[in-house]
Amino acid sequence: MNTSTLAPTDPKACKSFAEFYPFYLAEHSNRTCRRLHFIGSTLALSCLALSIATAQPYWLLVGLLCGYGFAWVGHFGFEKNKPASFKRPLYSFMGDWVMYKDLWTGKIAF
């Protein structure tokens, strides 16, 4: 995985998502953490589809628990850092989905 050595150390100083994303990737350098993010995001999307298909909002809650649960296990258990969502929630949410796409397309090693 290519994480820039120019990644900012203070995510709150980032003025754009483009500035934040290198920090986000640096916070996800552990392969197991990235894999857990991928699993959690896939389950969250599945739960969203279930919620729509069944008209049951319950699945949205399950999706949130899956998405954040897997990510937090990755951060606390493997990456040994705090999730970026604690520092920049919106940019972190955006980063989750950009990283998810980058994992699917092979831009980031799975």
Q: Does residue 17 form part of some domain? A: no
State how far the Cα of 90 lies from the Cα of 31, in Å rounded to an integer: 23
Structure tokens of 59? 């699945």
pLDDT computed for residue 4 by the predictor: 45
Q: Does residue 67 form part of some domain? A: yes
Q: Does residue 22 form part of some domain? A: no
DSSP codes, 2-21? ---TT--S-GGG--SHHHHH
Instruction: Give the tens place of pLDDT for each residue, 55-81.
Output: 999 999 999 999 999 999 999 999 999
The pLDDT of residue 5 is above 90: no
Instruction: Give the tens place of pLDDT for each residue, 30-42.
Output: 999 999 999 999 9
| Nearest residue to 69 via CA among 50, 91, 42, 51 | 42
Q: How many domains does the chain have?
A: 1
The pLDDT of residue 7 is above 90: no
Q: Does residue 94 form part of some domain? A: yes
| Segments forming the whole domain that contains residue 36 | 28-105
Q: Does residue 4 form part of some domain? A: no
